[in-house]
Amino acid sequence: MSQQTLLEVRGLKKYFEAGRPGFFSRTVRHVHAVDGVDLNLRKSEVLALVGESGCGKSTLSLLLMGLEDPTEGMITYDGQNITHLNDNERKSVRRKIQMVFQDPYESLNPTQTIEEIVTEPLVVHGFDGSHAERGEKVKKALEDAGLRPAEVYMKRHPHELSGGQRQRVVIAGALVLDPEIILADEPVSMLDVSIRAEIINLLAELRITRQIAVIFITHDLGSVGFFADRVAVMYLGRIVEIGTMLDVLERPQHPYTKALLSVIPVPNPRMRRERIILQGETPNPIDLPTGCRFHPRCPVAIATCKASDPALIPLTKTHQAACLLLVK
Ligand code: SF4
């Protein structure tokens, strides 16, 4: 795999205003949706971004797409700072970073044919080739998305297709622009279990055939095991652990990652994992806990965790053995 970095994120934050705590209060409260994320993505790499709903992973993907403006931090794509772009500059970057949303039913216009749906991105981005070249691109995108032969599908409407076929049309609509990165936000969670593996296999295939890097956003750590190169685990707006897929799945360091892994069913009935059930709900991202933001739910928390962030906590030997957070 090439080591060329395509996308780099440094200190990225996104806070949303959440009103004032009281009528007379001057303080404006904020939802800390993304709160200091560092990340990079290499060419044709698959990075899984995993976390519970509300952890900030979808907001992070909107920031990467330029659909939200960051409060702080920097995003570079292919060496170019793309943090704040005007509409024209954004348009040319967006050709290269495409998004696949969770719900193929919502993403497709029911009145258009599949051909029209996949042609539309070319029109929006001002494709200047001939009519025949445009048709060829649409056909290739459909076939690369697994809808072969393309002619069978082009004149149909979304309601004539299965859920899996519709998600392939959504992917074809991204492929037609020859992207270098696909941001797939829970792309299989609305699909039948039997079809999920097909879509994941398709994304795995595209990183080889088209050299596309994929950020695969999911709440299900079990679904990324066989195709992600690296896994980033997100909790309350921060990445708490990142590593190669093997390291994270076999040697998780953070207690939160361990808890996520412990509830994934193991296919071998003779192997048992001790289930770690986290107590309580994810804290409110408006009123973040002091110290380590995982401490209210952490099964191995000690008193110090309430006061200091992991990077600052002087971990004792026993605490370190339980927590294993890397002290910077
Ligand atoms: Fe748990 Fe403390 Fe480690 Fe945070 S620093 S993950 S609360 S043990």
Q: Ligand 1, atom 5: nearest CA belongs to which residue?
A: 310
Cis peptide leading into 149, omega within 30 of 0? yes
235 CB within 6 A, ligand 1: no
284 Cα: distance to centroid of ligand 1 (angstroms): 18
C-alpha to C-alpha distance for 158 and 112, rounded to whole angstroms: 8
- pLDDT tens by residue, 24-39: 777 788 999 999 999 9
Is 316 a residue whose pLDDT tops 50? yes
| Whole-number Å distance between alpha carbons of 193 and 99 | 22
CATH number of 147's domain: 3.40.50.300
Residue 50 exposure: Cα atoms within 13 Å on the Cβ side: 27
Instruction: Kindly indicate the confidence band of residue 314, based on its pLDDT and cuts at 50, 70 and 90.
Output: low
pTM of the model: 0.90
**Binning pLDDT at 50, 70 and 90, where does residue 2 land?**
very low
Angle between helices 131-144 and 163-175 (to 10 degrees): 130
- Of the pLDDT bands very low, low, confident and very high (cuts 50, 70, 90), residue 267 is low
Between 112 and 251, the higher pLDDT residue? 112
Q: What per-residue confidence (pLDDT) applies to 244?
A: 92
- For 6, list phi and psi in degrees, rounded to 5: -95, -45
310 within ligand 1 shell (Cβ under 6 A): yes
Tokens of 266: 């193991």
Residue type (1 letter), 267: P
Grouping H, G, I as helix, E, B as strand and the rest as coil, residue 240 is strand
Nearest to 173 by CA among 196, 142, 149: 142
Share of the chain above pLDDT 70, in %: 93
| pLDDT at 143 (0 to 100) | 97
User: Regarding beta strands 46-50 and 230-235, do their DSSP bridges make them parallel or antiparallel, or are they unpaired?
Assistant: parallel
In single-letter form, the type of residue at position 39 comes to: L
At residue 61, does pLDDT exceed 60?
A: yes
Q: Is residue 112 part of a domain?
A: yes
Q: What is the pLDDT of residue 283?
A: 87
Mean pLDDT for the stretch of residues 118-124: 96
pLDDT of the residue at 327: 47
Identify the pLDDT of residue 250: 86
Give the number of C-alpha atoms closer than 13 A to the C-alpha of residue 102, restricted to the C-beta side.
10
- Is pLDDT at 105 greater than 60 in this prediction? yes
Q: Which residues pair with 233 in a beta bridge?
A: 50, 241
Q: Of 136 and 275, which is predicted with more confidence?
A: 136
Residue 10: inside a domain, yes or no? Answer: yes
What sign for the dihedral angle of Cα 26, 31, 37, 42? negative
312 found inside a domain: no
Q: Which residue type sits at 12?
A: L
263 in any annotated domain: no
Asked whether residue 21 is assigned to any structural domain, the reply reads no
Tell me the pLDDT tens digit for each residue of 238-263. 999 999 998 888 888 889 999 998 88
Start-end of H helices in the chain: 57-65, 87-96, 104-107, 114-124, 131-144, 151-154, 163-175, 193-209, 245-250, 255-262, 317-323
Q: Which value, to the nearest 10 degrees, does the dihedral of the CA atoms of residues 276, 279, 283, 289 take?
A: -90
Protein residue whose Cα sits closest to atom 3 of ligand 1: 323
The rounded Å distance from CA 21 to ligand 1 centre is 29
Domain tally, the chain: 1
Is residue 305 a part of any domain in this protein?
no
Structure tokens at 4: 């060329």
- Domain holding 43, by residue range, is 5-16+31-251
Looking at per-residue pLDDT, the higher value among 129 and 140 belongs to: 140
| Of 39, 45, 44, the residue nearest 61 (C-alpha) | 39
Report the alpha-carbon distance of residue 184 to residue 187 in Å, rounded.
Answer: 6
* Ligand 1 pocket, residue 323 CB under 6 Å: yes
Looking at 77-86, 201-210, 267-276, 282-291, which range is the least confident one? 267-276
pLDDT band at 68 (very low <50, low <70, confident <90, very high): very high
Kindly give the pairing relationship between strand 72-77 and strand 5-17: antiparallel
Q: Measured from the CB, is residue 236 less than 6 Å from ligand 1?
A: no
Q: Distance (Å, rounded) from C-alpha 7 to C-alpha 61? A: 12
Query: Mean pLDDT score of the chain, rounded to an integer?
Result: 89
Q: Answer whether residue 328 shows pLDDT above 60.
A: no
Most confident of 87-91, 135-139, 238-242: 135-139
| Ligand 1 pocket, residue 62 CB under 6 Å | no
Give yes or no for residue 268 having a pLDDT over 80.
Answer: no
Sequential DSSP letters for 198-216: HHHHHHHHHHHHS--EEEE
Token pair in block for residue 296:
């209210």
26 within a domain of the structure (yes/no): no
Residue 90: partners with Cβ closer than 8 Å, 6 or more residues away = 66, 82
In what order do the strands lie in the sheet containing 5-17?
30-42, 5-17, 72-77, 80-81
Task: Give the mean model confidence (pLDDT) for residues 1-7.
Answer: 75
Q: Is residue 121 in some structural domain?
A: yes
Provide the pLDDT for residue 155.
Answer: 97
